[in-house]
């Protein structure tokens, strides 16, 4: 992703902490697109990033910048993937790392983060509770927190997904981008990248319709979108096996909703059963073993073709944001 370093905030490239993140494949669908009559369906496969998810981009950026600024210890509340990524980049930068995650987080995330030398603390509840515990530790132990959108750099890493999509599609953006949404930084980051590229004269004013996908077990953004609200209400008792979507309140809710609306996009919730179907289909028909969040994106694609939100001539990009290998305990129960 550092091919875009001129557009990223690290000032001295010697401070870049990298494990080879970014420029993930944009795979043309071999089966599902044809089956649904959408010839130009692509899967942006973020599972091939270091530590198995798109979170590598944001955390590579945040840790690089932290190194540049002399930060010595970093803490994060996480649904899983961000914790793995932070731990790996901190190991590489020799920065102390602490990861706070809900007890229900799939095992792999605590295991690899521990191997990377991070301290792990599990809390009952959701990432919201992990966030509250993080805030306590910031005060009592003076950690630097890289909670979603509470520091300015993770989003800068994530925006590189937007730059890449443009480059991979020869600077003609797709008509529709389908993205699974928790804290929403993936979506907000790409939206920022499109604005920057327009200012650079690389693209025009056209924008993809941004589709935000959540689970019916935790859909605050979808509810706010449908209710015409600018901000989302806190979702009570969030439940979904797509751990990254179990975010009851996103700090950037208004930015997510703004991007969806400005793009003439949509927010939609998919059931847990539908997520399983998406996960299985992507594995079986496209050879990509996705995180359940990627399964959610694919199943949303099915619904949007059916509702004719997606037109047969559209170029559509479905994001698989992470790897199924991190969710083996969860996926085993749903085979
Ligand atoms: C695999 C995966 N997909 C999607 C998300 C949601 O990403 P965001 O918080 O940027 O909306 C997460 C967050 O943890 C995730 O781990």
Three-class DSSP labels, 4-61: HHHHCCCCCHHHCCCCCCCCCCEEECCCHHHHCCCCEEEEEEHHHCHHHECHHHHHHH
Instruction: Tell me, in angstroms, the distance from the centre of ligand 1 to residue 183's CA.
Output: 7
Q: Which two tokens stand for residue 28?
A: 């043309």
* DSSP H or E stretch at residue 265: none
Q: Which two tokens stand for residue 80?
A: 């899983």
- Summarize the confidence of residues 34-58 as an average pLDDT: 98
d(CA 114, CA 313): 47
Claim to verify: residue 25 and residue 42 sit in the same structural domain = yes
From the CB of 305, is ligand 1 less than 6 Å away?
A: no
Instruction: Tell me, in angstroms, the distance from the centre of ligand 1 to residue 179's CA.
Output: 9
Claim to verify: residue 215 and residue 87 sit in the same structural domain = no
pLDDT of residue 118: 98
Claim to verify: residue 227 and residue 292 sit in the same structural domain = yes
pLDDT of residue 127: 96
- Listed as own residue / partner, the contacts of 28-35 with beta carbons closer than 8 Å and 24 or more positions apart are 29/286, 30/285, 30/286, 30/287, 31/285, 31/286, 32/281, 32/282, 32/285, 32/286, 32/298, 32/301, 33/316, 35/285
What is the residue with the minimal CA distance to atom 13 of ligand 1? 244
213 SS3 class: strand
Percentage of the chain exceeding pLDDT 90: 99
Claim to verify: residue 125 and residue 199 sit in the same structural domain = no
The total number of structural domains that make up the chain? 2
Atom of ligand 1 nearest to the CA of 322: 1
- In this prediction, residue 15 has a pLDDT band, given cuts at 50, 70 and 90, of very high
Determine the length of the chain.
Answer: 335
- Are the beta carbons of 46 and 53 closer than 8 angstroms? yes
From the CB of 266, is ligand 1 less than 6 Å away?
A: no
Residue in 52, 84, 157, 182 to alter for ligand 1 test, most ligand atoms within 8 A of Cβ: 182
pLDDT of residue 141: 98
From the CB of 79, is ligand 1 less than 6 Å away?
A: yes
Report yes or no on 150 lying in a domain: no
Instruction: Tell me, in angstroms, the distance from the centre of ligand 1 to residue 78's CA.
Output: 10
What is the residue with the minimal CA distance to atom 14 of ligand 1? 244
**CATH label of the domain that carries residue 301:** 3.40.50.1100
pLDDT of residue 121: 98
- Summarize the confidence of residues 248-260 as an average pLDDT: 97
pLDDT of residue 311: 98
pLDDT of residue 274: 98
Report yes or no on 151 lying in a domain: no
Report yes or no on 312 lying in a domain: yes
From the CB of 76, is ligand 1 less than 6 Å away?
A: no
- Are the beta carbons of 221 and 257 closer than 8 angstroms? yes
- In this prediction, residue 155 has a pLDDT band, given cuts at 50, 70 and 90, of very high
Percentage of the chain exceeding pLDDT 70: 100
- In this prediction, residue 62 has a pLDDT band, given cuts at 50, 70 and 90, of very high
From the CB of 157, is ligand 1 less than 6 Å away?
A: no
Atom of ligand 1 nearest to the CA of 78: 14
pLDDT digits (tens, 9 = 90+) for 107-148: 999 999 999 999 999 999 999 999 999 999 999 999 999 999
- Summarize the confidence of residues 159-171 as an average pLDDT: 98
- Are the beta carbons of 228 and 274 closer than 8 angstroms? no
From the CB of 292, is ligand 1 less than 6 Å away?
A: no
Angle between helices 107-115 and 81-93 (to 10 degrees): 0
Report yes or no on 199 lying in a domain: yes
Residue 267 β-bridge partners: 212
From the CB of 276, is ligand 1 less than 6 Å away?
A: no
- Summarize the confidence of residues 249-277 as an average pLDDT: 98
Q: Please give the angle made by the CA atoms of 325, 117 and 66, to the nearest 5 degrees.
A: 100
Domain boundary among 145, 170, 203: 145
Claim to verify: residue 206 and residue 321 sit in the same structural domain = yes
Report yes or no on 33 lying in a domain: yes
Claim to verify: residue 312 and residue 168 sit in the same structural domain = yes
Atom of ligand 1 nearest to the CA of 326: 1
pLDDT digits (tens, 9 = 90+) for 80-112: 999 999 999 999 999 999 999 999 999 999 999
Claim to verify: residue 222 and residue 281 sit in the same structural domain = yes
In sequence order, what E strands does 185-235 have? Answer: 209-215
What is the residue with the minimal CA distance to atom 9 of ligand 1? 183
Claim to verify: residue 250 and residue 298 sit in the same structural domain = yes
From the CB of 81, is ligand 1 less than 6 Å away?
A: yes
From the CB of 185, is ligand 1 less than 6 Å away?
A: yes
Instruction: Tell me, in angstroms, the distance from the centre of ligand 1 to residue 11's CA.
Output: 28
pLDDT of residue 196: 98
* The dihedral sign for the CA sequence 28, 34, 40, 43: negative
pLDDT digits (tens, 9 = 90+) for 197-243: 999 999 999 999 999 999 999 999 999 999 999 999 999 999 999 99
Claim to verify: residue 207 and residue 319 sit in the same structural domain = yes
- Summarize the confidence of residues 184-193 as an average pLDDT: 96
Claim to verify: residue 213 and residue 322 sit in the same structural domain = yes
Report yes or no on 301 lying in a domain: yes
From the CB of 321, is ligand 1 less than 6 Å away?
A: yes
- Are the beta carbons of 61 and 157 closer than 8 angstroms? yes
Residue in 190, 193, 322, 330 to alter for ligand 1 test, most ligand atoms within 8 A of Cβ: 322
Q: Which domain holds residue 102?
A: 55-145
Instruction: Tell me, in angstroms, the distance from the centre of ligand 1 to residue 184's CA.
Output: 7
Claim to verify: residue 7 and residue 85 sit in the same structural domain = no
d(CA 257, CA 244): 18
Claim to verify: residue 45 and residue 60 sit in the same structural domain = no
No. of H helices and E strands in the chain? 13, 10
Atom of ligand 1 nearest to the CA of 291: 1
Q: Which two tokens stand for residue 249?
A: 């309140």
**Terminal C-alpha separation, the chain:** 35
Report yes or no on 223 lying in a domain: yes
Domain boundary among 117, 145, 173: 145
Q: What is the pTM of this model?
A: 0.97
d(CA 90, CA 74): 8
């Amino acid at each position: 992703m550092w091919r875009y370093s001129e557009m990223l905030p690290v000032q001295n490239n010697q401070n870049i902490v990298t494990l080879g993140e970014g420029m993930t494949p944009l795979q043309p669908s071999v089966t599902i697109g044809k089956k649904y009559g959408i010839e130009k369906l692509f899967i942006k496969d973020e599972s091939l990033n270091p530590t198995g998810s798109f979170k590598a981009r944001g955390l590579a950026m945040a840790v690089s910048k932290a190194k540049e600024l002399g930060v010595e210890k970093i803490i994060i509340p996480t649904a899983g993937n961000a914790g793995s990524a932070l731990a790996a980049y901190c190991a590489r930068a020799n920065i102390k790392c602490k990861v706070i995650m809900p007890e229900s987080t799939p095992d792999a995330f605590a295991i690899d983060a521990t191997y990377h030398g991070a301290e792990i603390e599990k809390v009952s509840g959701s990432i919201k509770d992990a966030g509250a515990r993080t805030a306590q530790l910031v005060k009592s132990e003076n950690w630097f927190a890289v909670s979603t959108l509470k520091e300015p750099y993770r989003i800068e890493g994530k925006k590189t997904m937007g730059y890449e999509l443009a480059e991979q599609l020869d600077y003609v953006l797709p008509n529709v981008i389908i993205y699974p949404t928790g804290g929403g930084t993936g979506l907000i980051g790409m939206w920022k990248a499109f604005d920057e590229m327009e200012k650079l004269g690389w693209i025009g004013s056209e924008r993809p319709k941004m589709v935000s996908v959540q689970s019916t077990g935790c859909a605050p953004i979808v509810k706010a979108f449908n209710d015409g609200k600018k901000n989302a209400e806190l979702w009570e008792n969030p439940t979904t096996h797509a751990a990254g979507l179990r975010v009851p309140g996103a700090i950037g809710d208004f930015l997510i909703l703004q991007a969806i609306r400005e793009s003439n996009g949509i927010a939609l919730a998919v059931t847990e059963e539908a997520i399983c179907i998406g996960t299985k289909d992507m594995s079986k028909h496209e050879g990509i073993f996705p995180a359940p969040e990627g399964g959610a994106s694919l199943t949303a694609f099915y619904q949007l073709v059916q509702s004719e939100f997606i037109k047969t001539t559209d170029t559509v990009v479905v994001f698989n944001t992470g790897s199924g290998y991190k969710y083996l305990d969860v996926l085993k129960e749903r085979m």
